[in-house]
Structure 1
């Protein structure tokens, strides 16, 4: 007997009263507070650097045509518009996208330790970028190769798990297998790389960086990251239904396996787009959803927007430290791991009994 059909509005009412959506009352205020923090962080990040630009001048440049530009020099305008603003916006896209992807995957797998790397897309995208750097194919092929091989990893994952029983377990195992396979290919690319030219470029890119941010890279990242994020946010209330269990979701007219693949595809788009423009940046998709969950609770109608805003803020802060702490550029992936691992350890120790109680 087929499950009864239920309209979207009815499902939202069910999840709202099911205990799966605590924290909704403070949801809009939490989202607004996170957005304000992000806006302030953007202003500060654009101001800081080797060449300091006063925040008032940054505001005048950003509001060009609306505010008088008294005292703004041509150098300041160049630094803000062509160097720092693209980099900060790229950090917003990458950090926010990874935060949303992490929260969605943790709910999809019903496992708080899942991160975007679990589906193998990061490793596939890393191999695509490494190949482009190995042969010196330029930025266009670097971004395109990372994106194509990231999606190829998803296609292979589909091929490994299609029609299998216990599909979620197969997805996890398939992601581990594909991640190891592409990591081995990356190691092979490094082995054949010229140690004086392409090898340093490959190693630095794999460690993650936004140092080469341009408006062209922002344009490339916008499409897959915002498309995947939009799909997840539009269906975010369905994650509350999935958290009730497959039987309950099926009784409400939802097909859990099909819905999970929709979220997997959306998250794959986000991760592939992020890795293509920034390299491998870890821990964001694991730590940020936990911080957001501790703040607003497990209701994904609030959790996902807050995860995007917190992820964007976090990566902007880390990237600002990476480019200002020393005379050189510290790899972004190194800092996210150095900060993320201890923070996550503390979170697990202090909240291991309640961090996922209501998810």
Structure 2
């Protein structure tokens, strides 16, 4: 009975936060109006409400809420997958240099082109390039053990971080530099239906692949020798997990900027709720990550007159909360 309640709660939680985000904002809209607007859409009837409010709901708040759910879920699922794959609770979704690569790609696109489409494409492309380079570094000894992949990701992250600093150094301080800095801090302010199509495809493919392989993460987390003895092709499955997690993370970072801590702390919260079984942890991580990022986005919009970048709030909340998690769990379960 307890398990059913938890499962129902995890399903309803992100849906509830998406609905909550529709009537919270600078243009207050009543819950009754939101329900009537949904009913009119379902029944194909007209609803006499100001065009401004309908635009706010369907073209601004709804895409932003759905995109926030996808980004938060992608980062959380990727973080959970990498933590299980590398058997390391301190691993996050950007461990292989995805975030740094995407940041450099976006900064370069802002410096040269400064159009939304090129920013997405450059961020996504360089995020994938960072992972490829990390993998090639990991194969320096004709193999790709997990420790070498982590080291490769650390090297690539440092290199791209230096390149980002160089881009900021040469950027125009009155125009390009503020745009680069704001993008790197993470935001969903420019979310639109187009963003859902552009970034939603790789995120959905990546999350779908992780979900399909979630039971194999349990086996891979036991170690290569045990996994092979159970008939698991470790090289193939590790490669697929890295590819799917990279797609999910790259799609998320490309459309939202660099958002830290989600892929690190959300899987830990999921383990406190459903345990270490990745068959339950992976979908729980999506639900918690989606709900968390929508809540953070709502908080950033409401507490000040201007929006607070997401990475600031996730760090301010994530860092002390992670210390609390370490204190109460004492590293158990790893």
TM-score interval w.r.t. the shorter chain? over 0.9
Aligned position for 2:184: 206
Give the deviation of 1:218 after TM superposition: 1.1
Contact kept, 8 Å, 1:57 with 1:71, in 2: the verdict is no
Normalized against structure 2, the TM-score is what? Answer: 0.95
Give the deviation of 1:55 after TM superposition: 1.8
Contact kept, 8 Å, 2:40 with 2:47, in 1: the verdict is no
CA distance in 2, matches of 1:110, 1:203: 33
Aligned position for 2:156: 178
Gaps of 5+ in 1: 1-24
Aligned with 2:81 (options 104, 108, 112): 104
CA distance in 1, matches of 2:41, 2:162: 52
Give the 3-state SS of the residue equivalent to 1:224 in structure 2.
Answer: helix
Give the deviation of 1:258 after TM superposition: 2.6
Contact kept, 8 Å, 2:72 with 2:293, in 1: the verdict is yes
Aligned with 2:24 (options 40, 44, 48): 48
Give the 3-state SS of the residue equivalent to 1:118 in structure 2.
Answer: coil
Aligned position for 1:155: 132
Aligned position for 1:13: none
Contact kept, 8 Å, 1:124 with 1:153, in 2: the verdict is yes
Contact kept, 8 Å, 1:161 with 1:174, in 2: the verdict is yes
Give the deviation of 1:232 after TM superposition: 0.5
Give the deviation of 1:158 after TM superposition: 2.2
1:128-159 alpha-carbon deviations (Å, 9 max, x no partner)? 00011112330010000000001111111222
Aligned with 1:352 (options 316, 330, 333): 330
After superposition, residues 117-128 of structure 1 pair within 5 angstroms as 117-128=94-105
Aligned position for 2:33: 57
CA distance in 1, matches of 2:216, 2:5: 22
Contact kept, 8 Å, 1:27 with 1:302, in 2: the verdict is no
Contact kept, 8 Å, 1:207 with 1:281, in 2: the verdict is yes
Aligned position for 1:243: 221
Structure 2 residue 6 is matched with structure 1 residue 30: yes
Give the deviation of 1:26 after TM superposition: 5.7
CA distance in 1, matches of 2:192, 2:109: 18
Give the 3-state SS of the residue equivalent to 1:308 in structure 2.
Answer: helix
Higher mean displacement: 227-236 or 56-65: 56-65
CA distance in 2, matches of 1:86, 1:71: 22
Structure 2 residue 272 is matched with structure 1 residue 273: no
CA distance in 1, matches of 2:39, 2:148: 51
Give the 3-state SS of the residue equivalent to 2:42 in structure 1.
Answer: coil
> 1:195 and 1:115, CA in 2 relative to 1: closer, same or farther beyond 3 A?
same
CA distance in 2, matches of 1:338, 1:185: 26
1:7-61 alpha-carbon deviations (Å, 9 max, x no partner)? xxxxxxxxxxxxxxxxxx8655433211212111111111100001112222232
**Count of aligned residue pairs for this structure pair:** 332
Contact kept, 8 Å, 1:101 with 1:271, in 2: the verdict is yes
Contact kept, 8 Å, 1:250 with 1:256, in 2: the verdict is yes
> 1:138 and 1:330, CA in 2 relative to 1: closer, same or farther beyond 3 A?
same
Normalized against structure 1, the TM-score is what? Answer: 0.89
RMSD: 1.6
Contact kept, 8 Å, 1:43 with 1:55, in 2: the verdict is no
CA distance in 1, matches of 2:84, 2:264: 12
CA distance in 2, matches of 1:69, 1:194: 49
Gaps of 5+ in 2: none
Contact kept, 8 Å, 2:78 with 2:93, in 1: the verdict is yes
Aligned position for 2:296: 318
Aligned with 1:257 (options 230, 235, 238): 235
Give the 3-state SS of the residue equivalent to 1:111 in structure 2.
Answer: coil
Give the deviation of 1:72 after TM superposition: 3.0
CA distance in 1, matches of 2:35, 2:295: 19
